[in-house]
Chain A
Amino acid sequence: MDIQRLISMANQIGDFYESYPNQSHAQHEIAGHLNKFWALPMRKQIAQYVNEQGGTGLHAAVQASIKAHLQL
């Protein structure tokens, strides 16, 4: 898929959780949402983008969440 599309979708999820007072919980929830609703090829692609290409354009919380909690 177009990586820009995945970036903007992931950032939207990050935006929802941005106002949560407990940010460590929010980070669980962001990747939790991806694990639950994104197909594996999409998760693999975004993980690769974060881990191998630096994740430019992704919000910091989203990147951190993907690194820590995304299931592949």
Chain B
Amino acid sequence: MDDIKYDKNIDYGTPTSQSTKQVTLTVDDREVTVPEGVSIMHAAAVAGVMVPKLCATDSLEPFGSCRLCLVEIEGRRGYPASCPTPVAEGLKVHTQTPKLADIRRGTMELYISDHPLDCLTCAANGDCELQDMAGAVGLREVRYGYEGENHLKSTKDESNPYFTFDPSKCIVCSRCVRACEETQGTFALTIQGRGFESKVSAGNKNFLDSECVSCGACVQACPTATLIEKTVIEAGTPEHSVTTTCAYCGVGCSFDAEMKGEEVVRMTPSKHGGANHGHSCVKGRFAWGYATHKDRITTPMIRKNISDPWQQVSWDEAISYAANELNRINQTYGKDAIGGITSSRCTNEEVYVTQKLIRAVFSVNNVDTCARVCHSPTGYGLKQTLGESAGTQTFDSVMQSDVIFVIGANPTDGHPVFASQMKRRLREGAKLIIADPREIDLVANSPHIRADYHLKLRPGTNVALISALSHVIVTEGLVQEAFVKERCEWDSFVEWRDFVAKPENAPEALSEALGIDAKTLRDAARLYATGGNAAIYYGLGVTEHSQGSTTVMGIANLAMATGNVGREGVGVNPLRGQNNVQGSCDMGSMPHEFPGYRHVADDATRALFESAWDRPLSKEPGLRIPNMLDQAAEGNFKGLYCVGEDIVQSDPNTQHVTHALEQMECVIVQDLFLNETAMFAHVFFPGASFLEKSGTFTNAERRISPVRRVMTPKNGGLEDWQVTAKLAQALGYPMHYNHASEIMDEIARLTPTFKGVSFKKIDEMGSVQWPCDDENPAGTPIMHIDAFVRGKGKFFITQYVPTTEKVNAKYPLILTTGRILSQYNVGAQTRRTKNVAWHDEDILEIHPHDAEDRGIQEGDWVGIRSRAGDTVLRAKVTERVQVGVVYTTFHHPESGANVITTENSDWATNCPEFKVTAVQITRVNQLSDWQKHYKTFSEAQLAYAGRDLEAAKIELD
């Protein structure tokens, strides 16, 4: 039979089954065929029969507590609940009989006897399953009265900034508790007490102070108004809904923007989202208020010097000013003095038109993207070894993994929705190896999960770690030789094998450098090589090092040597930081590559683009972001078009970045806010938020998902790609598209891996994973199945070269940086939401031993000094970091985390070495000089734009 066509608007009550065996039964005289293992409730829903229910919902395992879903089955006694009862061949089920109606009505009467009758003024009015069920069972009276004991006077918990918990409306169906466990995996909620005393509890605390991570799964699961969004309480129920894609991390969750006219009422995770399957995190679910924040700049601005106040102008004036300036710079200094930078926060279409503008107008390839400072080593390393600059798997693949190896990634903070899926697999029993200098939550702080091995290595020793693990695999005969012989270049394997087998690569030899005992290294290597399907997940802890690319290649070597590529459950999985890191690289926003990772020196590719774009193009690789800044500092780079990116905050060695910007003559920033880079700009083009434009984002699993416009752009009606097209036009290069879909059509025409991609296909399929071409019209979930993209996989020798950033008497500690769940990247978006309730400043984590040596106590102000600069943060004394290592995040500009980081970078890609900076920490009692300067400077800059820093602060209730 055909697969069941699931309708996302129907709640099937219990999850579907993966069984391939089909079962046929009859529900109310309707014959229905379903996979074995589904519930009778589910089968009934497939047949179009909705059995009354309260505690069941198809995102959760059946629970069988509400007693509404009872049915009668011919030949069986009693009234079994249909949600936990599996289907069987030939069953004849009746869902509506007089007896069932009596039982259900009696049950509902009991529920309603302890529920406030305020439906008309309730926030869930019209969107309440209890209300629906009262209607469905025909409840007409409540005979018990309201005199007896009840829960109607329970106190409401309004501590969470985004939703309320009203126990008086709770029916104790446990959907929230189960969602917290099954969907999110945090186990913050429990049912406390027994019988009448049973109540939902966040561990005896209010929600904000509890373990709750505010993912919204409980709110989503709640059938009543007990857990409900504050925006719904304020605005009422939405009247229409548009499916779009989250603008935060690289998971790329699908959301339904639930609207009232042009106002978002709430964002709910889309049940059919390919990446998130109806789950969400605190950012995507709740932190979208920045889109309407009063800090938004909605009028174009220009100024001659950065010491001048901004002048508000029309779009035409701003575009014309910018074009004249770029033309002047081109004539005065030459084309090499001009470049563009895109952001992973841009859509594919925006990135594409920006790189097209720079290349076609100026015949130069100086166009880069912020992947430069995060995952550029992934692009390089995976292209070299496997042949394609992308992860090999789908997120769902993790459900087939037996061994999960997380290297330099913190999924529960950085990629929370995927982390929930990973945690589900880990609770099912998959083994876990973590390589991280710091004790991330997955190590031992996630309920029912404990890493089998935490390889707590010294920052900067990733390559040594990979070498040690490879040594064990090679010397203990754990290589899958048949796979290597068939799928890889044998000569490259032999070179690699002989190299890693050398005694200097043995765990015993590298143990001291790594700070991990040799036996643990050997055991972890054996588990990875022999534990079944083994999948590697890695993040910026791998790439942001002087040997970032080497580690990526080493990871690919490991996966190839053990045969862990090319099927479900295995693979090499870069966890991309931002929503469109993958896409911005795919779109040719790299100075050496056209869209689709084709080198600019390739004559055939260049001819293709020259013909399509009708301009001569350069065969020379352009400047990367750090090269642009270096050139600018020397006076050789003068004009920059920076779309959506904030290099001043996110790039290393802030003083160098700002000095470089100060030497430029025309910096054009296109953004929602006057970000840190805009403070050094001469032209400001107000951008459109993801709610205000059409386009696509491509997530970490190569999934191209739609971004849909749900409101008019607040900048006067222009989507960002339209601004770029106008600028191109003003520069004398016609760039006309009627809609973002036409840009994607052009991308598809010029890029083989995107040949089959169109907005129409994305509308039909929901999303599609590239490569999508004639051979794979429905996309490619798993790559390299029969052969590697490059043909044969290639091994590379990966010699460990210690970083030059060494600790010494002056700088005895290593600073490493990371992210936190509630904030996102430079924080421009999340700092302008109530997420500041969880993280309103960056904190320095320091080990108790190092703190004691320096007389530092929890909460003290500490100075952090590196050879690049110094800043001041408050200290948190914790054993999560190891002795000799300190850690912070970089979400707040006044923290100046990148004032400390240095210009050291990856050898192959210039990706900055954010993860290793030698520092000294001391107790201090005032801000650093940089911070004082920053305060004065930024206040002046905000005033130039007519902004008041204090007035813009997020107020918490």
Complexed CA–CA distance, A19 and B799 (Å): 6
The answer for the CA separation of A2 and B601 in the assembled complex, in Å, is 26
Q: Are B499 and A19 in contact (CB under 8 A)?
A: yes
Measured between beta carbons, the chain A residues less than 8 angstroms from B159 are none
Task: Please tell me if B636 contacts chain A, counting CB pairs below 8 Å.
Answer: yes
Which of B36-44, B134-142, B516-524, B623-631 interfaces with chain A? B623-631
CB-based contact B910/A19 at 8 Å: no
Give the chain A neighbours of B495 by CB distance below 8 A. 20-21
Contacts of B592 in A (CB 8 A): 36-37
B620 located at the interface, meaning its Cβ lies under 8 Å from any Cβ of chain A in the complex: yes
List residues of chain A with CB within 8 A of the CB of B546: 12
B-chain residues with CB within 8 Å of residue A1 when the two chains form the complex: 627, 630-631, 634, 636
Q: What is the chain B residue whose CB lies nearest that of A20?
A: B797
Kindly identify which residue among B499, B621, B797 contacts A36, using a CB–CB cutoff of 8 Å.
B621
Nearest chain B CB to A9 CB, angstrom units: 7
Q: Which residues of B contact A8 (CB under 8 A)?
A: 804
Asked if B816 is at the interface (CB within 8 A of a chain A CB), the reply is no
Q: Are A42 and B627 in contact (CB under 8 A)?
A: yes
B907 and A9 contacting across the interface, CB-CB below 8 Å = yes
Q: How far is the CA of A35 from the CA of B599 in the complex (A)?
A: 11
Q: Is the interface of B mostly helix, strand, loop or mixed?
A: loop
- Within 8 Å CB of A12, what residues of B? 546, 801, 907
Interface residues on B, range: 20 to 34
Contact A37 B908, CB 8 Å, known A16-B801, A18-B799, A19-B799:
yes
Chain A residue nearest to B618 in the complex (CB): A40
Residues of A within 8 Å of B620, CB to CB, are: 39-40
Distance A36 CA – B957 CA, assembled complex (angstroms): 55
User: B256 contacts the other chain (Cβ, under 8 Å)?
Assistant: no
Partner of B905, one of A9, A37, A40: A9
Mostly helix, strand, loop or mixed at chain A's interface?
A: helix
Contact A5 B621 (CB under 8 A): no
B652 contacts partner chain A, Cβ-Cβ < 8 Å = no
Could you tell me which residues of chain A, from 10 to 69, have a CB within 8 Å of some CB in chain B? 12-13, 15-16, 18-21, 33, 35-42
A36 to chain B, nearest CB (A): 6
Asked if A38 and B621 make an inter-chain contact with CB atoms under 8 angstroms apart, the answer reads yes
Q: Flag if A13 contacts B907 (CB, 8 Å).
A: yes
Residues 720-764 of chain B, each 1 if its beta carbon lies under 8 Å from chain A, else 0: 000000000000000000000000000000000000000000000
Tell me which of A2, A18, A19, A39 contacts B621 (CB under 8 A): A39
- Interface contact A39-B622, CB-CB below 8 Å: yes
Which residue in chain B gives the minimum CB-CB distance to A2? B630
A2–B627 CB distance below 8 A: no
- Tally the A-B contacts, defined by beta carbons under 8 Å: 64
Which A residues are in CB contact (< 8 Å) with B903? 5
Q: Are B631 and A13 in contact (CB under 8 A)?
A: no
Known contacts A9-B910, A19-B799; A39/B634 CB under 8 A: no
- Interfacial chain B residues near A9, Cβ < 8 Å: 905, 907, 910
Is B258 an interface position by the 8 A CB rule?
Answer: no
Q: Which A-chain residue is minimally distant from B364 (CB atoms)?
A: A39
Q: Which of B499, B550, B621, B801 contacts A37 (CB 8 A)?
A: B621
Taken together as a complex, chains A and B put the C-alpha atoms of A39 and B630 apart, in Å, by 12
Q: Is B343 engaged at the interface, CB distance under 8 Å to the other chain? A: no
**B366 at interface (Cβ–Cβ under 8 A)?**
yes
Measured CA separation A42–B627 after assembly (Å): 9
Q: Bin the interface of chain A by size.
A: 20 to 34
Cβ of A68 to closest chain B Cβ, rounded Å: 19
Q: For B336, what are the chain A residues with a Cβ–Cβ distance below 8 Å?
A: 39-41
Q: A41-B336, A41-B636 are in contact. Are A33 and B908 (CB under 8 A)?
A: yes
Judging by beta carbons under 8 Å apart, are A16 and B799 in contact? yes
Contact with A along B588-631 (1 / 0, CB 8 A): 00011000000101000000000000000000111110010011
Q: List chain A residues, Cβ under 8 A from B801.
A: 12, 15-16
Contact status of A5 and B630, CB under 8 A, knowing A13-B908, A15-B907, A36-B599: yes
Residue in A closest to B619 when the chains form the complex, CB atoms: A40
Which residue of chain B has the shortest Cβ distance to A41 in the bound complex?
B336
CA distance A52 to B909 in the complex (A): 27
Chain A residues near B907: list those with CB within 8 A.
Answer: 9, 12-13, 15-16
Bound complex: CA of A12 vs CA of B333, how far in Å?
A: 31
- Looking at the assembled complex, report how far the CB atom of A12 sits from the nearest CB atom of chain B, in whole angstroms: 4
Give the Cβ gap from A45 to chain B, nearest Cβ, in Å.
10
Q: Give the distance in Å from the alpha carbon of A8 to the alpha carbon of B805 in the complex.
A: 13
Which A residues touch B633, using CB under 8 A? 2
Contact (Cβ within 8 A) A15 B621: no
A5 — which chain B residues lie within 8 A by C-beta?
630, 903
Interchain CA distance A21-B908 in the complex, whole Å:
20
> A11 — nearest CB in chain B belongs to which residue?
B907
Mask, B622-652, CB within 8 Å of A = 1, is 1110010011011010000000000000000
CA distance A42 to B620 in the complex (A): 11
User: Please, which residue of chain A has its CB at the minimum distance from the CB of B549?
Assistant: A16
Which residue in chain A gives the minimum CB-CB distance to B592? A37
A9–B621 CA distance with the chains assembled, in angstroms: 16
Q: Closest Cβ of chain A: how far from B804's Cβ, in Å?
A: 8
Give min CB distance, B26 to chain A, whole Å. Answer: 66
Nearest 9 CB-CB pairings of A with B: A12-B907, A19-B799, A1-B630, A15-B801, A40-B620, A39-B623, A19-B797, A13-B907, A16-B907
* Interface residues of B, Cβ cutoff 8 Å to A: 336, 365-366, 495, 498-499, 546, 550, 591-592, 599, 601, 620-624, 627, 630-631, 633-634, 636, 797, 799, 801, 804, 903, 905, 907-910
Given A20-B797, A39-B620, A39-B621, 10 other A-B contacts at CB below 8 A?
Answer: A1-B630, A1-B636, A12-B546, A12-B801, A16-B801, A37-B624, A37-B909, A39-B627, A40-B620, A40-B621
Q: List 18 A-B contacts (CB under 8 A).
A: A2-B634, A5-B630, A9-B905, A9-B907, A9-B910, A12-B801, A15-B907, A16-B550, A16-B799, A16-B801, A16-B908, A19-B799, A33-B908, A35-B601, A37-B592, A37-B909, A39-B623, A39-B627
Interface residues of A (CB under 8 A from B): 1-2, 5, 8-9, 12-13, 15-16, 18-21, 33, 35-42
